[in-house]
Amino acid sequence: MQHDLVKAADPGHAAISDVAENKEQTFAARVFASQPFWVTIALIALVVIMAINEPSFGTVENAANVTRNFAPIGIMAMGMTVVIITGGIDLSVGSVMGLVAIVAGLFLTWHYPWYLAFAMGMIAGIACGAVNGFFVAYVGMPSFVVTLGMLSIARSLAVVFSANQMLYQFGPDAPIVRAIGQAKWPLRAPAGWAPQWMPELSSHFWVMVGLALIVGYVFNSKAWGRHLFAIGGNEQAARLTGVPVDWIKFQAYVFSAFTASLASLLLLGYNGSAINAMGQGYELRVIAATVIGGANLMGGAGTAFGAFIGSAFLEVIRNALLMAGIDSNWQGAFVGAFIILAVLLGMQTGGKAIVAAILERLLPKKHR
Amino acid sequence: MTDPVSQSNSRNGLVLSLRGISKSFGAVSALTKIDLDVHAGEVVALVGDNGAGKSTLVKILAGVHLPDSGTITFCGEIVVLDDPAASLRLGIATVFQDLALCENLDVVANIFLGRELDPWRLDEVAMEIRAWTLLNELSARIPSVREPVASLSGGQRQTVAIARSLLLEPKLILLDEPTAALGVAQTAEVLDLIERVRDRGLAVVMISHNMEDVRAVADRIVVLRLGRNNGIFHPDASNQELVSAITGASNNAVSRRAERRQGSREHSGEPRP
């Protein structure tokens, strides 16, 4: 399952998964049994249907919009996947975004250079992650409780630091900050070389893709990634074999906070302003994206590709409903239904168990 | 009570020697002055009733608990096993009863968990080759080393756990209830495996409740009772003798049951050579 990322994110690497898996279960069987595969199929189907029926959906502008909109969720879903693989959860990511934006925004309003402001924001975010990680890994508290507390603390600090004001007078480095958040590549004529059919993809999207490739590589090729899965599968076993369980769990929460900080700084640049409400409710969207992408809340399973495709799927549903002119209040119902459906499909052996169960219902054994 | 120790002493080198090991948890003394010798190429079965102190003894050897008193001599040197890593370094490998496998990882990942080859860029090919070599040396029947452990049978999991313990080339391997929860065929497979491990010249200490298994594979049977040594037996000792040593009474529930069923020729009357 963690092999899917390489295949999808970098076509040049497809051969590796093929070679590595050729002995046993065929590569195809493995793909068919994976939840991200079915979600990808659903996503492609949704995009095709929408593109045919709704001319405004299939435009390059909309493609650029959608990819930019889901990128922050996708970036945080990478961190969330790491935490969920260890069997934990991080509810604080949305609040950490708010705190990071306010801290970075304050330093910008005080006319510090952009890199210092970004660094201070990053430090604030990573500090939140370190507190989460310390209490979960070394004190042994449930991650739900610790990160729920941090959700409240970080948001409160953001409100206090900002004096409940929006920060937008960013001093001399404001153009740089905005350039980072609003950058696009590849550019179309006249500024660039890209043909008219190619969407101008945002910096957010490229950061997410880069992060997904790194996370996918770590999951597949580093002992650290292997240990994450081991901790989620059987923490006691990992401990007995000498895996530094506490240290790795600590790092997982720090990484999750790091991804939240990254997403926050990109959004800060895009908006050109910082509000303490940034990221409110994002934790649930991130968790939903991660779970749709095949991460198991019990730990031990998850992929970077799944996190990517899950967040893309959520945003495309949202966008499609909007484009189809359906009352936006229906969004929640659709998204919720898809969360349940995706996890249902991913249960046990991917779609097979469900398909078998349905067949069993429709065609009881005595009739076959 | 016979003393077969002298026989096996001459055969092979002494790997492990415990003298006067005691351990108490609060007011409860789990072990009192335990002596135990294990030689290379020998399977020693550790038997005893629930609460006899078998698991505590294994945990002391695995470095999970420190004994309160007594000495542990390993390969001729007095050692202190103050954490699991210390035991592993010396060459004492432990296969715990719950096997400590990660069901979501494949066989290779489980065998190499915590000691991956080239942790910065996992060398999957080398690990897979080494895993196959280990499993082949044990003549283990594993359909695929790239399947998650969750899809293996109990016997195959036990095989994986034992193969993993052999990765660091230990001198002594501790097996905690290796045949519990296994079917008949799988039990036979694991017993074969234990014999092959012994034939490689390793010392094996095996805890078991199952007298059949113990007798099938052990070279010596060490009985613990209430945390004390209660006799060392040959595998051909009669069931009656073993059960008396384990329960501490010749007139016990097992013997009464045996008499009642009048199965004395099958159950208790095995002639001694």
Do the chains contact at A240 and B100, CB–CB below 8 Å? yes
**How confident is residue B114, by pLDDT bands cut at 50, 70 and 90?**
confident
Closest alpha carbon within chain B to A30:
B147
pLDDT tens-digit series, residues B65-90: 899 999 999 998 999 998 888 888 89
Closest alpha carbon within chain A to B103:
A233
Residue B3's identity, in one-letter code, is: D
Q: Which of B100, B120, B122 sits opposite A241 (nearest CB)?
A: B100
Q: Which of A25, A229, A236 sits opposite B104 (nearest CB)?
A: A229
Q: What is the Cα–Cα distance from A61 to A184, expressed in whole angstroms?
A: 12
Chain A residues in contact with B144 (beta carbon < 8 A): 23-25
**Residues 213..272 of A with a Cβ closer than 8 Å to B: which?**
220-224, 226-227, 229-230, 232-234, 236-238, 240-243
CATH number for the domain harbouring residue A281? 1.10.3470
Q: What is the Cα–Cα distance from A10 to A201, expressed in whole angstroms?
A: 17
Chain A residues in contact with B119 (beta carbon < 8 A): 222-224
Do the chains contact at A226 and B101, CB–CB below 8 Å? no
* Chain B: closest CA distance from residue A222 (Å): 5
Do the chains contact at B104 and A224, CB–CB below 8 Å? no
Chain A residues in contact with B99 (beta carbon < 8 A): 237
CA angle (A61, A259, A246) in 5-degree steps: 155
Q: Which residues pair with B206 in a beta bridge?
A: B45, B175
Q: What is the Cα–Cα distance from B38 to B204, expressed in whole angstroms?
A: 8
pLDDT at residue A360, as a whole number = 66
Closest alpha carbon within chain A to B113:
A241
Q: Which of A20, A24, A238 sits opposite B102 (nearest CB)?
A: A238
Mutate to test the interface with A, among B102, B121, B129, B142 (most CBs of A within 10 A): B102
Do the chains contact at A242 and B115, CB–CB below 8 Å? yes
DSSP strands (E only) in A186-264: 201-202
DSSP strands (E only) in B66-127: 69-74, 77-79, 92-95
Nearest-CA neighbor of A346 among A316, A321, A310, A304?
A310
The structure tokens listed for A103 are: 């801290």
Mutate to test the interface with B, among A219, A231, A241 (most CBs of B within 10 A): A241
Q: pLDDT tens string for chain A (368 positions)?
A: 444 433 333 333 333 333 343 345 567 777 777 788 888 998 999 999 999 998 889 899 999 999 999 999 999 999 999 999 999 999 999 999 999 999 999 999 999 999 999 999 999 999 999 999 999 999 999 999 999 999 999 999 999 999 999 999 998 999 999 999 999 989 887 888 888 888 899 999 999 999 999 999 999 999 999 999 999 999 988 888 888 999 999 999 999 999 999 999 999 999 999 999 999 999 999 999 999 999 999 999 999 999 999 999 999 999 998 888 888 888 889 888 888 887 777 665 444 556 666 666 776 655 44
Asked if B245 contacts B233 with a C-beta cutoff of 8 angstroms, the reply is yes
Do the chains contact at B116 and A232, CB–CB below 8 Å? no
Encode A198-222: b = buried (16+ Cβ within 10 Å), e = exposed.
Answer: ebbbbbbbebbbebbbebbbbbbbb
Collapsing DSSP to helix, strand or coil, B35 comes out as: strand
ipTM higher than the 0.85 cut: no
pLDDT above 50 (res B168)? yes
Is domain B5-237 in CATH 1.10.260.30, yes or no? Answer: no
pLDDT at residue A346, as a whole number = 67
- Residue A118: which domain range? 4-367
pLDDT at residue A63, as a whole number = 93
> How many folded domains does chain A comprise?
1
CB atoms within 10 A of CB A81: 33
Asked if A89 contacts A297 with a C-beta cutoff of 8 angstroms, the reply is yes
Do the chains contact at A223 and B101, CB–CB below 8 Å? no
Residue in this structure with the two tokens 């890209």, named with its chain if needed: A194
Q: What is the Cα–Cα distance from A67 to A89, expressed in whole angstroms?
A: 25
Do the chains contact at B122 and A224, CB–CB below 8 Å? no
Q: Where are the domains of chain B?
A: 5-237
